[in-house]
Amino acid sequence: MKKICQYFLSFLVLINIANAQTGAGTASHRIAIFVPLYLDSAFDATNNYKFDNNFPKILNPGLEFYEGAQLALDSLQAEGAHLDVHIYDTRSKQKTIAQIIREDDFQKTELIIGHINNTDLRQLAEVALHKNIPFINTNFPNDGGVTNNANFVLLNSTLKTHCEAIYKYAQKNYALSHIIVLQKNGAIETRLKNYFIDAEKNTSSVPLKLTYINLTEPINIKQLLPQLDSTKQNIFIAASLDENFSRNLCLQLAQVDKTYPITIIGMPTWDNLIDFSEPEYNGMEIIYTTPFYINPTDNLVKSIQQYFKDKFYSRPSDMVFRGYETTFRFAKLLIEHGASLNSSIGEKKYKVFNDFDIEPVFLNKQNMTLDYFENKKLYFIKKVDGNITAVY
In the chain, where the domains are located:
2-157+296-356, 159-290+380-391
- With CA atoms as reference, report the closest residue to 274 among 382, 390, 381, 386: 386
Of all helices (H) and strands (E), which one includes residue 361? Answer: strand 358-361
Residue 74: HSE in the Cβ half-sphere, 13 Å Cα cutoff: 11
* CB-based burial label for 316 (10 Å; 0-12, 13-18, 19+): buried
Q: At what angle do helices 2-20 and 299-312 cross, to 10 degrees?
A: 120
Q: pLDDT (tens digit, 9 = 90+) per residue, 327-360? A: 999 999 999 999 999 999 999 999 999 999 999 9
Which range of 45-49, 122-126, 219-223 scores highest in mean pLDDT? It is 122-126
Per-residue confidence band for 93, with pLDDT thresholds at 50, 70 and 90: confident
Whether pLDDT at 75 is above 60: yes
CA 322, chain centre distance (Å) = 8
The pLDDT, as a whole number, for residue 322 is 98
Question: 3-state SS string over 99-122?
Answer: HHCCCCHHHHCCEEEECCCHHHHH
The pLDDT, as a whole number, for residue 22 is 41
Q: What is the share, in percent, of the chain residues with pLDDT greater than 90?
A: 81
Architecture of domain 2-157+296-356: 3-Layer(aba) Sandwich (3.40)
* CB-based burial label for 142 (10 Å; 0-12, 13-18, 19+): middle
CA distance linking residue 297 with residue 178, whole number of Å: 36
Any bridge partners for residue 135, and if so which? 112, 152
59/72: higher pLDDT: 72
- With CA atoms as reference, report the closest residue to 137 among 36, 34, 289, 267: 34
End-to-end CA distance of the chain: 42
Taking domain 159-290+380-391, whether its CATH number is 3.40.50.2300 is answered by: yes
The pLDDT, as a whole number, for residue 144 is 95
The pLDDT, as a whole number, for residue 99 is 96
Whether pLDDT at 268 is above 70: yes
From edge to edge, which strands make up the β-sheet containing 262-266? 209-214, 178-183, 234-238, 262-266, 285-290, 379-384, 387-391
- With CA atoms as reference, report the closest residue to 240 among 217, 274, 207: 217
Residues 69/327, Cβ–Cβ less than 8 Å: yes
- Preceding omega of 218 cis (within 30 degrees of 0): yes
Whether pLDDT at 2 is above 70: no
Of all helices (H) and strands (E), which one includes residue 249? Answer: helix 243-254
CA distance linking residue 130 with residue 132, whole number of Å: 6
- Strand 29-35 vs strand 379-384: parallel, antiparallel, or unpaired? unpaired
CA distance linking residue 49 with residue 8, whole number of Å: 9
Whether pLDDT at 1 is above 50: no
Look at the pTM and tell me if it is higher than 0.75: yes
Whether pLDDT at 24 is above 50: no
The pLDDT, as a whole number, for residue 368 is 85
The pLDDT, as a whole number, for residue 272 is 86
On average, the pLDDT of the chain sits at: 90
Per-residue confidence band for 257, with pLDDT thresholds at 50, 70 and 90: very high
Whether pLDDT at 386 is above 70: yes
Q: pLDDT (tens digit, 9 = 90+) per residue, 353-378? A: 999 999 999 998 788 899 999 999 99
